[in-house]
Amino acid sequence: MVDMPSMEPAVFHAPFRDQFETFLDEHRSALHDSLDGLTEEQARRSLVASKTTLLGLVKHAAFVEKVWFDEAVACRSRAEIGIPDSPDESYDLDDGDTIASVQRAYRKACAASRRATAELALDDLVRGNRRGPLPLRWVYLHMLRELAQHCGHADILREQVLREDAEGQAAP
């Protein structure tokens, strides 16, 4: 189970930025940890019609971090960052993608996101997004929405993978 610092009384009255970052980090941690204890096959298992797998979902989350904090905040192009042009491509798994490598890349992307915003205030405008200038507050809210959605997907996929394997082991 993911530690829930957002439920600590000190966070209830913390400045908004601290609250945003606490919730972001909880969601980041939950998504990262969704791969813990799985085999490589389980993490790559396709259970839905889309490209979504648990491993692909965490890989996509690293892409999202880079889009919002490296592209939008740091104003670097996707080519310069080395990420796909489209979100759909960010789910694609290479032969070399493993649980360890994808989790490492995700941790690295999250750490870079924290560094990119360290000196910004919530109302500071970030200028690298295609929508035009946006306040950092909006980026944080958008990321919370996106990560919450992906954490829900990861919970369901993980449950399906583990259930399939439990049922397969129980069969005569």
pLDDT bin (cut points 50, 70, 90) of residue 150 is very high
126 dihedral zone (left: phi>0; alpha: psi -120 to 50; beta): beta
Q: What is the pLDDT of residue 10?
A: 84
Single pTM value for the model: 0.93
pLDDT at 8 over 90: no
Position 2 scores a pLDDT of 58
Q: What is the pLDDT of residues 41-66, one digit of tens each?
A: 999 999 999 999 999 999 999 999 99
In this structure, are residues 158 and 48 in contact, taking their beta carbons and an 8 Å threshold?
no
Contact (Cβ atoms closer than 8 angstroms) between residue 24 and residue 147? yes
Query: Is 18's pLDDT higher than 60?
Result: yes
The amino acid at residue 123 is D
Cα-Cα end-to-end distance for the chain = 32
Q: Which two tokens stand for residue 108?
A: 């690295």
State the average pLDDT for the chain. Answer: 94
DSSP for the chain reads: ----GGGSHHHHTS-HHHHHHHHHHHHHHHHHHTTTT--HHHHH---SSSS--HHHHHHHHHHHHIIIIIITTT---HHHHT--SSTGGGGPPPTT--HHHHHHHHHHHHHHHHHHHTT--TTPEE--STT--EEHHHHHHHHHHHHHHHHHHHHHHHHHHHHHHHHHHH--
What's the rounded mean pLDDT across residues 15-23? 95
Q: What is the pLDDT of residue 89?
A: 96
Q: How many CA atoms lie within 13 A of 149 on its CB side?
A: 10
The two most distant CA atoms of the chain are separated, in Å, by: 61
Is the pLDDT at 133 greater than 70, yes or no? yes
- List, in sequence order, every residue forming a beta bridge with 135; answer none if it has no partner: 125
